Amino acid sequence: MSEADSGQSEGNRTLSWIWKARGVGAIGDDNESICLKVTLRIEWCKSRAHASRWAEEVELLQEEMRRVAEFLSWHAAW
């Protein structure tokens, strides 16, 4: 199913309650536990990358706002 069909993209999805449940890593046999740990690690990496992208976006917007304000000040004195 495509992102448009599901109505939810990688940017606005929420982590299911199942990942937040207490003691999730201790359930099941060793293979399931290892698979779950890998899955949780992947989710953590995705979340970290997402947060990093948003932090970069904030920096870019702040610089853009600074430049616009400086340009408008310059233009007002022109």
In this prediction, residue 7 has a pLDDT band, given cuts at 50, 70 and 90, of: low
How much is the pTM?
Answer: 0.56
pLDDT digits (tens, 9 = 90+) for 9-34: 666 767 677 666 766 555 556 777 78
Q: How far is CA 3 from CA 9, 12, 26, 42, 78, in A?
A: 5, 11, 32, 20, 48
Please state, as a whole number, how many other Cβ atoms lie within 10 Å of the Cβ of residue 36.
16
Number of helices (H), then strands (E), in the chain: 3, 0
Q: How far is CA 47 from CA 14, 37, 44, 76, in A?
A: 11, 15, 5, 43
